[in-house]
């Protein structure tokens, strides 16, 4: 496997996503998780993977698709690990950023269940300074609902799991260049010290 070729294709895909803006990197994970073939193990079949790429605006030529499909189908079962692909696109948060992401999650997951209830989040999440609330384009409840759509609550149980939380904040992290700014944003948003 020519890793330089894989890297070239991933970078081409990253450029496409970057041109569409921050919201595209955030929504890319949701696109893949909506498929029926999603098995809870971060895999989709080849057809859904290709469709998901196109939904994200990534239309690769067949030879590039073949390289990507071959690389991300690690166990050659015809299923693509889309989480690995998304990590390749946006990268993982560094240790400092991941620590504050974890701290925010644990603020709500006091029992260690790996789940947090959105009603608890609503008590802390302050939407009043959101630009669309300040400009009166949206209400605080509308902004909060928009925030919740970033997560994949398949059963409408009002729960966010740790993976969904990490995926969302990995995408947010990707859009903020400065570590200090990211940490301040997390502390301000979630009332952390």
pTM of the model: 0.67
Contact by Cβ (8 Å): 108, 116: yes
How far apart CA 65 and CA 46 sit, in angstroms, is 10
Given a cut of 90, whether residue 102 has pLDDT beyond it is: yes
User: Three-state SS for 185?
Assistant: helix
Given a cut of 90, whether residue 96 has pLDDT beyond it is: yes
Closest CA to 74 of 155, 148, 1: 1
Q: How many angstroms separate the Cα of 101 from the Cα of each of 48, 148, 171? A: 30, 16, 12
Residues 8-47 have pLDDT tens digits of 888 888 888 777 765 666 667 667 667 655 555 677 888 8
The tokens of 118 are what? 């959105």
Question: Which residue ranges form the domains of the chain, and what is each CATH number?
Answer: 3-90 (1.10.238.10), 95-190 (1.10.238.10)
Which H/E stretch holds residue 161?
strand 159-161
Residues 126-175 have pLDDT tens digits of 788 788 899 999 999 898 888 887 776 655 678 888 988 988 888 788 77
Q: Which of 8-17, 83-92, 114-123 has the lowest average pLDDT? A: 83-92
Report DSSP letters for 27-87, one per residue. Answer: HHHHHHHTSTT--SSSEEEHHHHHHHHHHTT----HHHHHHHHHHH-TT-SSEEEHHHHHH
């Amino acid at each position: 496997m020519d890793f330089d070729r894989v890297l070239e294709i991933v970078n081409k895909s990253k450029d496409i996503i970057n041109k569409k803006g921050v919201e595209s990197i955030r929504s890319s994970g949701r696109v893949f998780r909506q498929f029926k073939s999603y098995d809870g193990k971060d895999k989709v079949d080849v057809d859904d993977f290709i469709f998901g790429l196109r939904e994200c605006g990534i239309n690769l030529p067949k030879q590039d698709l073949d390289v990507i499909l071959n690389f991300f189908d690690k166990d050659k079962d015809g299923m693509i690990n889309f989480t690995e692909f998304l990590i390749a696109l946006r990268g993982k948060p560094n240790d400092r950023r991941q620590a504050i992401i974890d701290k925010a999650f644990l603020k709500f997951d006091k029992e260690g269940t790996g789940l947090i209830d959105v009603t608890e989040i609503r008590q802390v999440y302050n939407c009043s300074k959101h630009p669309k609330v300040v400009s009166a384009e949206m209400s605080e409840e509308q902004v909060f609902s928009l925030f919740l759509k970033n997560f994949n609550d398949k059963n409408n149980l009002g729960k966010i799991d740790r993976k969904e939380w990490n995926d969302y904040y990995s995408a947010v992290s990707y859009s903020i260049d400065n570590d200090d700014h990211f940490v301040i944003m997390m502390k301000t948003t979630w009332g952390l010290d």
